[in-house]
Amino acid sequence: MDRVDITVIGAGVVGLSVAAHVARPGRSVLLVERHPSFGQETSSRNSEVIHASIYYPHDSLKGRLCLEGNELMYGLCRRFGISHKNTGKLIVAVTPEEEARLPALLKTARGNGAQGVQVIGPSDLRKLEPRVEALAAIHCPASGIVDSHALMRHFRAAAVDAGASEAFGVEVGSIDMVEGGYRVRVREQGGETFAFESRVLINCAGLGAGEVAAMAGIDVDEAHYRIFYRKGMYFRVMRGLDRLPSMLVYPVPPTDATVGIHTCPDLAGGMRLGPHDVWVDHVDYTVPEELRELFLRACVPFLPTLSAQDLVPDMAGIQAKRFGPGESSRDFVIREESDRGLPGLINLVGIESPGLTSSPAIGKLVAGMVQQLM
């Protein structure tokens, strides 16, 4: 293939959704992924929560796309039989100081348009979730969980069905602007390199999105496209599941960079706790045993029946953030780069949480941008 209309770089949930939304008969769309299969990085390593747009600043892309994604996600799941559960979520305050922060959280959630959120007291809490201890909580009925692999399989099938091609085990190594598009040089896993041209280039490279933008000539520090890695680790609850809640239960967020260690019920009836977040400078998915006490201390205030013997290290994932240690949170970037002299390049940078929830809305948004270009 010497020339295609559209290249999507990265087959995580975002690239797969984008490919599914831009592919159509009469358009050549190529999905390029460095691993031998799709969804091998962050999209397989997360809490799988369908968020309801609670925490994000008003008018942010995160807030807007999360809200739209929540609605689209439930619609997709119902229509295509993708495993999911509308569990609902509680953000629980266990101290008077945390309780005092609930009204501000509620205001942000309502400002974002989150459906049906309300503060509830101990008696309503006991009725909803008798296994949780707290002074008060925000109840978010629109939250839930989804099988992220099933969602990715759906987007992949939709993309291929609409005519997209895939090149897996192929890493993008350089990008040069040419007449009418971009020349993309890639390396196959065997070490062979080859190049092709693409009229439109869509960067959905997750942890690699900053590097891909830099290949196209963008100064990632000036643009705030440099990606910082925030590792989130989980422990699995192996015993006493019948003593634990079936809803998602979150603490009042400790900082604006994290939502805090919460319960993650899964669709197979199991339960993880997490994530515990740390900044890292390389990809490392280990989960040290020594964190058991930290997980216990974080959860026992609202899950009093939990004990250390119930917990074993589980898995980790890494968020692609546009801000580093000590910096304030930054929004998603989803941007066509004509004004940087790079027409037809669409960058998606810093697609951290709620990227899974937002993925159907991101695909729709990018399809609209592509429509303007073709």
- Both tokens of 101, joined, read 């922060």
User: Rounded to the nearest whole angstrom, what is the least distance from the CB of residue 97 to ligand FAD in the complex?
Assistant: 26
Give the Cα separation of 58 and 71 in Å (integer). Answer: 18
Give the Cα separation of 141 and 101 in Å (integer). Answer: 20
Q: Which is nearer to ligand FAD, 52 or 137 (CB)?
A: 52
The mark string for 305-324 relative to ligand FAD (x by CB under 6 A, - otherwise) is ------------xxx-----
Of 19-27, 29-37, 76-84, 239-247, which segment contacts ligand FAD by CB under 6 A? 29-37
Of residues 204, 214, 231, the one with CA closest to residue 321: 231
Exactly one of 5, 10, 90, 182 binds ligand FAD (CB under 6 A); that residue is: 10
By the rule CB under 6 A, 205 interacts with ligand FAD = yes
Yes or no: say if 325 and 230 are a contact pair by the CB < 8 Å rule.
no
User: Rounded to the nearest whole angstrom, what is the least distance from the CB of residue 51 to ligand FAD in the complex?
Assistant: 5
By the rule CB under 6 A, 33 interacts with ligand FAD = yes
Exactly one of 124, 171, 188, 266 binds ligand FAD (CB under 6 A); that residue is: 171
Q: Which is nearer to ligand FAD, 23 or 136 (CB)?
A: 23
By the rule CB under 6 A, 87 interacts with ligand FAD = no
Phi-psi region of 64 (alpha: psi -120 to 50; beta: other; left: phi over 0): alpha
By the rule CB under 6 A, 353 interacts with ligand FAD = yes
Q: Which is nearer to ligand FAD, 202 or 207 (CB)?
A: 207
Of residues 323, 367, 331, the one with CA closest to residue 63: 331
Of 45-53, 100-108, 117-125, 239-247, which segment contacts ligand FAD by CB under 6 A? 45-53
Give the Cα separation of 138 and 336 in Å (integer). Answer: 37
By the rule CB under 6 A, 351 interacts with ligand FAD = yes
| CA distance from start to end of the chain | 20
Exactly one of 6, 30, 31, 47 binds ligand FAD (CB under 6 A); that residue is: 47
Of residues 66, 52, 48, 49, the one with CA closest to residue 115: 52
Of 6-14, 117-125, 278-286, 300-308, which segment contacts ligand FAD by CB under 6 A? 6-14
- Both tokens of 96, joined, read 């008077």
Whose structure tokens read 């942010």? 60
Residues 52-81, interacting with ligand FAD (CB under 6 A): none
* Strand ranges for the chain from DSSP E: 3-9, 29-33, 49-50, 84-85, 89-93, 118-120, 136-140, 144-146, 165-168, 170-178, 181-188, 193-203, 228-237, 248-251, 262-265, 271-280, 311-321, 333-337, 342-349
The mark string for 223-242 relative to ligand FAD (x by CB under 6 A, - otherwise) is ---------x----------
User: Rounded to the nearest whole angstrom, what is the least distance from the CB of residue 123 to ligand FAD in the complex?
Assistant: 29
Exactly one of 15, 144, 350, 363 binds ligand FAD (CB under 6 A); that residue is: 15
Q: CA torsion, points 361, 323, 317, 283, in degrees to nearest 10? A: 130
Instruction: Provide the residue type at 172 as one letter.
Output: V
By the rule CB under 6 A, 14 interacts with ligand FAD = yes
Q: Which is nearer to ligand FAD, 108 or 353 (CB)?
A: 353
Q: What is the total residue count of the chain?
A: 374
Q: Give contact residues for ligand FAD (rule: CB under 6 A).
A: 9-15, 32-35, 40-43, 45-49, 51, 171-172, 204-208, 212, 232, 275, 317-319, 351-357
